Structure 1
Amino acid sequence: MNSIPSVNLKDFISNDPIRKQNFVNAIGKAYEDIGFVALKGHFLDDTLVNNLYDEVKNFFSLDTETKRKYEIPGIGGQRGYVSFGKESAKGKKEGDLKEFWHFGQYVEDDEKLKQEYPENVIVNELPEFNKIGKETYRMLEKTAKYVLRALALHLDLKETYFDEYIYNGNSILRPIHYPPITEEPKEAVRAAAHGDINLITLLMGAQGRGLQVQNHKGEWLDAIAEPDELMINVGDMLSRHTNNRLKSTIHRVINPPKELWGTSRYSIPFFMHPISDMKLDVLESCIDDNSPKAFDDITAGEFLNERLIELGLKKE
């Protein structure tokens, strides 16, 4: 596998059973081979995308003191602002060369989960920022639901298997700003090699060079999306749940060539998480003589907590 396959969600949601099955086959094969696809036919329209980028750039253009007042202590960076260099990849001590924001779930009908999740942080200086962030969150969540329905069919599960776990799930929308590089980085890169924690990640802003994916031979491939495509990859939770049948692929964001150091890069991943009670126990259908059970039983909440500690975002 030396390139990222492209699929179109309109095939899955068409009323044509052949197109639907072809989509299931294509995305299933891609996630078994390399763990990434480029997806067309999602639920984001161009106006919403352009408005979101405008608002994100407006936020990151605010002065440091203003941004820092939205950095909320004690919540492991799960909502609001996380300042430059705070997060590092698992096993790496250098902080990544980025700052970011977190929008979280908008729970309207479950008091228990309302108490469990931190509240979203309102940016007073930008009246449209939170409104457009919420609308984008909803459209990416809807897109992710259908991708997971296709994967459920690929795994011989009921099509709606994941629905109950992702409804009001602990998903995160993360606009990221990689500022211009002003001096030779010693060891740091914009985002060091890592696997994602969650079920699947939907990435906006993978146009142009920067994002790289590691294939099974250990080679790094450029993952460049068309303007109308989202990059969607498998996270560690789904890989674990499927006994590594679906691959959580290591990926990174490299520093640009020196002549482009003076430019910012923006990307906006949506990390699809389930509710914390979801059991990530290995699916029985993914265990056989050639693939014995590789992981202990754990819930999504326990797994997330472990990883936030490893990332330096949460103390033990």
Structure 2
Amino acid sequence: MVKQWKGLLFQSFNSGSLLVFAFLCAYPFYYIIINSLSDPAESAKGIYFWPQGLTLSSYEQMMQIPTIFQSVFISAARTVVGTIITVFCSAFVGYMVTKKELPFRSTIYRLIIVTMFFSPGLIPWYMLMKTLYLKNNFLLYVLPGAVSAFFIILVKTYIESLPASLEESAQIDGAGVWTIFIKIIFPLSLPIIACIAVFTAVGQWNSWADNFYLVTDSRLNTLQYLLYTNLKSNMADIMRTSASGTTQGAALASAGKVTPMSIRYAITVITVFPIMLLYPFMQKYFVKGIMLGAIKG
């Protein structure tokens, strides 16, 4: 009887802790969404649980930003193109390092792993990108990350868990390395491929540092960088106080105008929303890929 009560108490405490943790993870997104949909005047007063005065004025004002649509296109393009290139290149390299016939296979694999522990730093990276003429070039977003050491390890480990007889039978039928990879290995590796695709897509969509350091052409700005510049440019306006002690944002809201903060809420929702939609559909592949890829060490 005592053990049952202890077990029930543990389950209750465990469930309660997980619910609190889930709430703490989800609430920041919920807070941003309800404030982006609320009337700016009400949002300036403070909204924490329910939207007040539902309106799309913040999103309408966001659409007036000159480069907003171009930035959305650049972010979407780098996410799609970059994910395809990274997945294919990393998968192929991961497959090749499993081939015993590859000269210096162990050395190549060790050199790939070394890159995970030692980074050249920002200045050498900047000089290299500039030397390769990637400054103010869309290829800057998709080529440097075409091969990832972490993804190669995942793919290599997963492929080594596949039956070797599949590849041997294809070789007997006269299939070459490229044919085996495209028609056998790649289709069978879809769980780990989907896992890599999720990692890459999230990283590409959220990335803005390369835009910050190497892109001065506004036509190549990403949505994340646009959010960064928007957060930075009007920070003084939000922090500045009027003689009455209210913020300038509150003064604008009382006049029925959209505040810089409400626009930031709207841009943040737009930048986060695609990733929130992606994860539920890719979660089963993500978990399965990690588990299957960890069978062999």
TM range (shorter): under 0.3
Higher strand share: 1
Which structure exhibits the higher relative contact order, with contacts defined as CA atoms closer than 8 Å and separated by 6 or more residues?
Answer: 2
Higher helix share: 2
| Structure of larger gyration radius | 2
TM-score (structure 2 length as normaliser): 0.22
